[in-house]
Structure 1
Amino acid sequence: MNRNKFSFMKTGATMLLSIVMLSGLLACGNTNSAGSATNAAGDNNSSSTKTSPVTVKTAYAPFIGGIGIYALDDKKFDLDHNVDLQIGAFGATSPLMSVMTGDVDIAFTTLQSYLVSVNALIEEGSDISTLPKIVYLHNASTGADGIVADASIKSVADLKGKSVTAQYGEVTHYMLAKALATAGMTVDDVNLVDMGPGKGGAAFVAGSVDAATTFEPYLSQGTTARNGNIIISTADMENTILDVVVVSAKNAKEKPEWLLNTLKAVEDATKYVNSDLDAAAELTAGDLQVSAEEVKAMYPTVHLYTMADNIKGMGEGGWIYDTMKDVVDFYTSIGTFKKPFDVKQLVSTDFLSK
């Protein structure tokens, strides 16, 4: 699982140096570039019209969870719905900031990174109602992330007192805390080594630490290089690490046709991947820079959410709200967040079953 070939590093919102500028931008109102494209195309209010497709810019970290996005592009599901999805990789700016500045129209990002960015803006004085909204659940890690440990460590409980890598205040820190909780432990019970998943995985392979909270290919490399054990993974922790689809508050409220059509195209692509993985793997191998066989081998480590999953997860009483609250409570407990906030204001359910 050569995830290092396509830069799977999903970091949190660490590039928030221009928060004050963005807060000012919010006060002036958020502008969406796809809206401009719609106007240029000629008031595109229906997917049944024969006008030119609306250009929709998106940002995505290229990894196996993006198989549906690349299948969407290769199979032209976007054009079927009169949108032209332009896929771009994450740059130095966080996905949330890119949505707010209008550099992208729709972003796919981890729930944790999204909430870290939201919190930073709230603490800078932004009104939560003006911040980008979650409109769709896209994929979840179901084994691609986990903790690899030395051969002498057989279980999570055996991590007590051991050196374990995780990046403080980021996704791996949260995952480590959730993993330790399964054994009635907290992060205080281990010797936390503050490293990102890539550096942490490399440090484990090099023998510098007892265990690493990381992702593939470091999980597999660790089991080979040090005869180690993957003592827990996201296969054992449902909905711990997931990607959500985020758009500006303005577009979430106004529900432009291009947004509805983009989500329909995403759903079509998900159905396609789930119904014909062999064909999808052949189509997307080049995009992910691995072989089709590697795509198929990696695919069980993620789950692409369907619309039915979205209705269950985001609808009334859906599990996403408990997960979001848990993430916020964790970051508050370690001091990354000053105080919790109402996560329900960050989710729009207007796009379910459309």
Structure 2
Amino acid sequence: MKKTYIILAVIIAGFIGIFLVLFGISNAPKTKTSAEPLRIGVNPWIGHGLYYVAKEKGFFEKEKLNVELIPVDDLGIGRQLIATDKLEALSITPETAAILGDAAISAQAVAMTDTSEGADGIIVSQDIKDIADLKGKSVAFEIGSPSHFFLSYLLDKRGLTTDDLTVVNTIAPDAGAAFVAGKVDAAVTWEPWLSKASEREGGRLLATSKETPILPAILIFRTEVIQKRPQDIQAVLRALFAAREWILANQGEAVAIIAKNFGITDQEVTEQLPTFRWFSYEDNVSEFTEGGYSAQNLIQTAGDLWLKLGLIKNKINAKNLVDSSLIKNLYK
């Protein structure tokens, strides 16, 4: 009888084992997110509305993430915050990634969230017909900014640099205002100043990021965070891509959320929507490390230009500043 009980116990144990395997409740450890905060720095660029939608509509919460969105108006401060471990992540453009690489700040790009497609541009006086005509002209833009990178990229195609211009160093809104007031020959700026170019007699758009989309928003994380919390980073990316899909299906409510968080009107948000594009997961798979406008290529291009202009001291290798493994394995 005792032997019978032992055999029966073995059979029951076997069935329980099969049940646990089939229904995924084995003792094997599961990949899960951490309750530790993830502090992500974002500047007041409308494309970053994606993060606020993900926060307010519960996409971060659904992934069991504790995300804190930290407004960063000054990218210099943003670089300081991530260098001193006061941020886990920062959304930046290629030239800033190059500066971080030059400064040996240990951080890597993990995805692109959006790109300017007409939101940035160069406005010029009527006598300027081509980028090459900017030589010797007074041009307003902020040194070291995305505007500077955009202008430098176009000048480089004509064999010129910003050293060939009379540079008026000022932030983008003030650059636009200076142009409309007739104080400079050209300005690198954004809306509403691009549309206001015609307020100056003969003023017009010379070039925009629609034709040259080299200003993607790149999400970088400190390398230590990538190594220790890869599942959290992947959860952030899933939440952002889910928020993108929700925005496309619920534009009215999304516009209201974005307007509220940036202190602008719903109409202003709606008018700017055609000037940029949110990246999908599929976009990242195909464009993150490959192609002329990939994050990796643009970071390298920015680094090469910045080295030529003396804005950084060392030649960077963009391959070391990008980690594509998280996006490639996101849904595997």
Report TM bin, short chain.
0.7 to 0.9
2:272 is aligned to: 298
Q: Check the 8 A contact 2:31/2:231 in 1, yes or no.
A: yes
Greater gyration radius:
2
Residue identity in the other structure for 1:214: T
1:331 aligns with 2:306: yes
Q: Secondary structure at the match of 1:94?
A: helix
Residue identity in the other structure for 1:75: K
For 1:141, which of 116, 129, 136 is the aligned residue?
116
1:287 and 1:345 map into 2 onto residues whose CA distance is 34
Given the superposition, is the C-alpha separation of residues 250 and 268 from structure 1 closer, same or farther in structure 2, using an over 3 Å criterion?
same
Given the superposition, is the C-alpha separation of residues 159 and 289 from structure 1 closer, same or farther in structure 2, using an over 3 Å criterion?
same
1:106 is aligned to: 89
Task: Kindly provide the CA deviation profile for residues 241-300 of structure 1, in whole angstroms up to 9, marking residues without a partner as x.
Answer: 121111111121234432221111111112222333233112322112222222111011
Q: Check the 8 A contact 1:165/1:211 in 2, yes or no.
A: yes
- In the TM superposition, 1:121-140 aligns within 5 A as 121-122=103-104, 131-140=106-115
2:211 is aligned to: 236
1:141 and 1:199 map into 2 onto residues whose CA distance is 20
Q: Secondary structure at the match of 1:143?
A: coil
For 2:281, which of 282, 307, 313 is the aligned residue?
307
1:262 aligns with 2:236: yes
Given the superposition, is the C-alpha separation of residues 276 and 183 from structure 1 closer, same or farther in structure 2, using an over 3 Å criterion?
farther
Q: Report how far residue 178 of structure 1 moved.
A: 2.0
1:190 and 1:102 map into 2 onto residues whose CA distance is 38
- Gapped runs of 5+ residues in structure 2? 1-28
Task: Kindly provide the CA deviation profile for residues 304-326 of structure 1, in whole angstroms up to 9, marking residues without a partner as x.
Answer: 11111111123467833222211
- Cα RMSD for the two superposed structures: 2.5
TM-score, reference length from structure 1: 0.76
- In the TM superposition, 1:156-175 aligns within 5 A as 156-175=131-150
- Gapped runs of 5+ residues in structure 1? 1-42
Moved more, 141-150 or 185-194: 185-194
Q: Secondary structure at the match of 2:168?
A: strand
- In the TM superposition, 1:1-354 aligns within 5 A as 45-46=31-32, 54-90=36-72, 94-119=77-102, 121-122=103-104, 131-181=106-156, 185-226=160-201, 228-238=203-213, 240-315=214-289, 319-353=294-328, 354=330
1:13 is aligned to: none
Residue identity in the other structure for 1:335: G
Q: Check the 8 A contact 2:40/2:89 in 1, yes or no.
A: yes
Name the % identity.
Answer: 24
Given the superposition, is the C-alpha separation of residues 96 and 189 from structure 1 closer, same or farther in structure 2, using an over 3 Å criterion?
closer
2:257 and 2:163 map into 1 onto residues whose CA distance is 46
1:337 and 1:308 map into 2 onto residues whose CA distance is 33
TM-score, reference length from structure 2: 0.81
Q: Check the 8 A contact 2:101/2:316 in 1, yes or no.
A: no
Moved more, 241-250 or 217-226: 217-226
Residue identity in the other structure for 1:98: L
1:283 and 1:336 map into 2 onto residues whose CA distance is 37
